[in-house]
Amino acid sequence: MARLSNTRADRSAVMLFSDVFDALVQSMHESLPAAGFDDIRPSHSVGVLRTLDPEGTRPGELARRAGVTPQAMAEFVRYLEERGYVERVPDPTDGRARIVRLTTRGHEAAKAAHVAFDAIETDWKHRLGEQRYRQLKEMLAELRAPRAVRSVRRPRAAKAQAPSRARNRSPRSR
């Protein structure tokens, strides 16, 4: 999706939130190379590492959570697996399936990301002040609550129903 440049003062809260999220991801990724993780890209952290459950997650579920195709997720996982951040192992609940889980190196990268997040939060506290920072967290928690962000979809236009083949055949062809 193309990014629109919009610096108007009345920019929507959703777009401002998107900008803050982008800045957060960029800041984290600027700190990872110094910690020895220069091969993790934003698409890997946002698409895979952020969506993994502690015990591991099936690739199809990772794709659903990240909003990407299963094929794209397979590429992300392959990239991270080749670099030692994740591994694919049999699902303990279904031996036919596989799950993706963090390796030791993956856990180390997650710790480095948390250090970056802590630095970002410290900066926010300094810039906003303790009270406004606490209010920000409360508001974000409220918006994060289940069903706080509802999907907005346009109603689908009614499709014209094709006549049934059975109704269009002559009695002799039945």
Angle separating helix axes 104-128 and 13-31, nearest 10 degrees: 130
Can you give the CATH number for the domain in which 86 is found?
A: 1.10.10.10
Does any domain span residue 168?
Answer: no
Which residues constitute the domain of residue 50? Answer: 13-148
pLDDT of residue 52: 92
pLDDT band at 1 (very low <50, low <70, confident <90, very high): very low
The angle subtended at Cα 153 by Cα 59 and Cα 144, nearest 5°, is 60
CA distance 151 to 132: 29
pLDDT, greater one: 47 or 96: 96
In a 13 Å sphere around the CA of 96, the CA atoms on its Cβ side amount to: 0
CB 148 within 8 A of CB 142: yes
Pairing of strands 94-102, 86-91: antiparallel
pLDDT band at 162 (very low <50, low <70, confident <90, very high): low
Per residue in 98-148, pLDDT (tens digit) is 999 999 999 999 999 889 889 999 999 999 999 999 999 999 998 887 665
Does any domain span residue 130?
Answer: yes
Q: The whole model's pTM is what?
A: 0.70
Residue with tokens 């918006």: 143
- Weakest mean pLDDT among 34-48, 116-130, 142-156: 142-156
pLDDT of residue 2: 47
Number of domains in the chain: 1
Write b or e for each residue in 56-70: b if 16 or more Cβ atoms lie within 10 A of its Cβ, otherwise e: bbbbeebbebbebee
